[in-house]
Amino acid sequence: MEIFKKIVELQNALFEARKAGKKIGLVPTMGALHEGHASLVRRSMKENDLTVVSVFVNPTQFNDKNDLKNYPRTLEADCKLLEQCGADFVFAPEVEEMYPTPDTRSFEYPPVSTVMEGAHRPGHFNGVCQVVSRLFYIVRPDNAYFGEKDWQQIAVIKAMVRHLQLDVQIVECPIVRDDDGLARSSRNTLLAPNERAIAPTIYKVLKESVDYAKKHSLKETHQFVVESINAVDGLDVEYFSIVDGDTLQDVADWNDSPYIVGCITVYCGKTPIRLIDHIKYKSSGK
Ligand code: PAF
């Protein structure tokens, strides 16, 4: 496995690979890697000849300075995990390498980028698009792999790819969960033991709500989820939106769409740590 800090060095190596006809897969990450990331890397390795994993905590997608400061940075451990997975290239640039000058580009993809995370974290998706578009220009991957945990992020990145007419396939990969159901996330390492103990309630309630939804209205189901989670001391729902899976717009009734997803963000503990998850109520073959 080779580790690159400089764009030009990575690009020289990729030039050789492309000349040899190799198909290139990219797994963009912010590090603090876990089994969820490993599953993306393995999938990329199966479907491509060469896999690049980027490890970069992107400052432009944080709308909270403390969140950026506290975000876990574990490059050495990340490289060990990637070596075990068999990744070919790691790209771990410094901020000045990715942004030699401030990125003034603005990406807005309403409605998918303006609701839910877009509404609660102003500028977040703009920053995600800034860095992901740069990574796409630098690596020019055939395929790029993203975890479904950040379900809205995938919709925004797909909109960006269409807008910029980029020749890259976005591959959505299933959420990886711990045995108790908590979605794997780099932020989970920030949870204190008592916070880690209550965090699985989020997915437990979401799962229960699928059965509940069979006999209750959408409004009642919404209330059931929010009240059940808020009833746990230490959990505080920021938003729970039940949306059309394609437009990401709120739906009012179960019959309003063949594809309905519930998306939730919950604050956990004293710090607090922001956890996101989602559940599909109707998936129309998706
Ligand atoms: O999902 C993430 O970890 C980040 O948003 C991404 C896609 C690596 C961009 O920084």
Cis peptide before 272 (omega within 30 of 0): yes
Query: CB within 6 Å of ligand 1 — which residues?
Result: 28-30, 58, 61, 128, 131-132, 150, 153
Residue spans of alpha helices (H) in the chain: 7-19, 35-47, 65-70, 75-85, 95-98, 117-120, 124-139, 151-164, 193-198, 201-215, 218-230
Distance 30 CA to ligand 1 centre (A): 6
133 and 16 in a single domain? The answer is: yes
18 and 57 in a single domain? The answer is: yes
Residue at which a domain ends, from 173, 195, 217:
173
Residue spans of alpha helices (H) in 141-198: 151-164, 193-198
Domain assignment of residue 58, yes or no: yes
Q: Is the dihedral of CA 73, 91, 101, 158 positive or negative?
A: negative
Structure tokens, 124: 């977040």
149 and 9 in a single domain? The answer is: yes
Domain assignment of residue 179, yes or no: no
CATH of the domain at 89: 3.40.50.620
40 and 140 in a single domain? The answer is: yes
Q: Can you give 192-226 as a three-state secondary structure string? A: CHHHHHHCCHHHHHHHHHHHHHHHCCHHHHHHHHH
Task: Let me know: does 26 contact 145? Beta carbons within 8 Å.
Answer: yes
Residues 13-54: tens digit of each pLDDT: 999 999 999 999 999 999 999 999 999 999 999 999 999 999
164 and 212 in a single domain? The answer is: no
Q: How far apart are CA 169 and CA 146, in angstroms?
A: 11
148 and 234 in a single domain? The answer is: no
22 and 46 in a single domain? The answer is: yes
Q: How many domains does the chain have?
A: 2
221 and 112 in a single domain? The answer is: no
Top mutation candidate among 39, 60, 95, 132 for ligand 1, by most atoms within 8 Å of CB: 132
Active site residues: 37
Distance 153 CA to ligand 1 centre (A): 8
Residue at which a domain ends, from 173, 204, 237:
173
Structure tokens, 32: 């603090």
What is the atom index within ligand 1 of the atom nearest the CA of 61? 10
Distance 260 CA to ligand 1 centre (A): 24
Residue at which a domain ends, from 173, 205, 234:
173
CA-closest residue to ligand 1 atom 1: 29
Domain assignment of residue 201, yes or no: yes
236 and 108 in a single domain? The answer is: no
What is the atom index within ligand 1 of the atom nearest the CA of 132? 9
Top mutation candidate among 26, 27, 30 for ligand 1, by most atoms within 8 Å of CB: 30
Spell out the per-residue pLDDT of the chain, length 286, in tens. 999 999 999 999 999 999 999 999 999 999 999 999 999 999 999 999 999 999 999 999 999 999 999 999 999 999 999 999 999 999 999 999 999 999 999 999 999 999 999 999 999 999 999 999 999 999 999 999 999 999 999 999 999 999 999 999 999 999 999 999 999 999 999 999 999 999 999 999 999 999 999 999 999 999 999 999 999 999 999 999 999 999 999 999 999 999 999 999 999 999 899 999 999 999 975 6
130 and 249 in a single domain? The answer is: no
Domain assignment of residue 47, yes or no: yes
Residue span of the structural domain in which 206 resides: 186-276
Domain assignment of residue 282, yes or no: no
252 and 116 in a single domain? The answer is: no
Distance 213 CA to ligand 1 centre (A): 32
Distance 128 CA to ligand 1 centre (A): 6
Domain assignment of residue 11, yes or no: yes
